[in-house]
Amino acid sequence: MELRFYDDPGEFLDVAGDYLAEQPVLSTVMASVASRIRDQRSAGVPWPDDVPCWFAAFVDRGKVGATAMRTAPFGEYPAYLMPMSDDAAVLLARTLLDRDEPVLGANGALPAVQVFCEEMASATDLRATVGQHTRLFELRELKEPPEVPGRLRPARLDEQDVVAGWYDAFMADADEQAGRPSGSSPHEAVEPEELRRRIETGRVFVWELDGTPVHLTAATMPAFGVSRVGPVYTPKEHRGHGYASRAVYEVSKWLLENGTRACLFTDQANPTSNKIYEALGYEGLVDMANLRVE
């Protein structure tokens, strides 16, 4: 088994694209991130000099069997791992250590991220701790929730400041709802130009009540025919009215009508959101985790 690193996301997709396409829901994060960075570079948008950016493929007799990447522009710049054997996770950790690149965190599939972070912890005299347990869901059979007042519509550019504030509040409130200290989960801040692009391409929606936005649901650009729903956010003063259920239902329906499969991530420590998505017809596909080495 050969471990190959790629600085160019386009080259990585040329090598690993077929592997990712074979399991498009499971590879939703890696495929969409690689595609986005490739397209940004083609458009002349530079990658920040201080943020690591590499993709890795495990190749056995010419066939890709596992992948990883390090592109997260936040925290300790954690890696992201697709499912892989324990041996592959250890090899990745040791290879990074050999090239003097300790990676003090990882997101992705269990048990790969656990094995990877424990190997990193052992070599650096630190310890691996779980920051967040997540679960990847795929929409199977969409089920309609009760109707609620208002309507879903695409967000407008003149609402970008409101949308940006809700993006920022999403993770802090998610921590609070899960019983973690607010802001304890590091996450990517969406740059204004990127958020503007998402609004312009019609991937950000608000639920409007009497002319006022009261909820946000977004969806990623499709990668290998799969779009990821999220974030899903309702400000505290508007919760409990069913806006989230109805908005996710309508966005999911829109994706299906456009020939796109829908998936989303949930925080396992938040039973409310998990219950909402299951009621809409989303089914758990794989358990994942966010681990830190500290």
162: domain CATH number is 3.40.630.30
Produce one character per residue of 92-122: b if its CB has 16 or more CB atoms within 10 Å, e if not: bbeebeeeeeebbbbbbbbebbbbbbbbbbe
What mean pLDDT comes out for the span 184-206? 85
Q: Tell me the CATH number at 13.
A: 3.40.630
**pLDDT value of residue 253:** 98
66 and 156 co-located in one domain = no
84 and 167 co-located in one domain = no
112 and 194 co-located in one domain = no
Confidence of residue 179 (pLDDT cuts 50, 70, 90): low
**pLDDT value of residue 1:** 86
152 and 269 co-located in one domain = yes
146 and 217 co-located in one domain = yes
| Average pLDDT value over all residues in the chain | 94
pLDDT reading at 184 higher than 90: no
57 and 103 co-located in one domain = yes
The residue from 96, 126, 156 where one domain ends is 126
**pLDDT value of residue 172:** 77
106 and 39 co-located in one domain = yes
213 and 254 co-located in one domain = yes
165 and 120 co-located in one domain = no
Task: Write out the residue range of the structural domain in which residue 18 sits.
Answer: 2-126
Distance between CA atoms of residues 278 and 266, nearest Å: 11
pLDDT reading at 62 higher than 80: yes
The residue from 100, 126, 152 where one domain ends is 126
The predicted-structure confidence for 217-270, as pLDDT tens digits, reads as follows 999 999 999 999 999 999 999 999 999 999 999 999 999 999 999 999 999 988
The residue from 126, 153, 174 where one domain ends is 126
109 and 144 co-located in one domain = no
72 and 175 co-located in one domain = no
**Count of structural domains within the chain:** 2
What mean pLDDT comes out for the span 106-110? 97
The predicted-structure confidence for 67-82, as pLDDT tens digits, reads as follows 999 999 999 999 999 9
What mean pLDDT comes out for the span 162-186? 74
The share of the chain scoring above pLDDT 70, in percent, equals 95
Structure tokens at 180: 């973690």
Domain membership flag for residue 254: yes
**pLDDT value of residue 271:** 83
Domain membership flag for residue 132: no
Confidence of residue 191 (pLDDT cuts 50, 70, 90): confident
Q: Which residues pair with 212 in a beta bridge?
A: 209
Single out the residue of 115, 117, 142, 116 nearest to residue 128, CA to CA. 117
**pLDDT value of residue 161:** 96
Domain membership flag for residue 290: no
99 and 35 co-located in one domain = yes
pLDDT reading at 7 higher than 90: yes
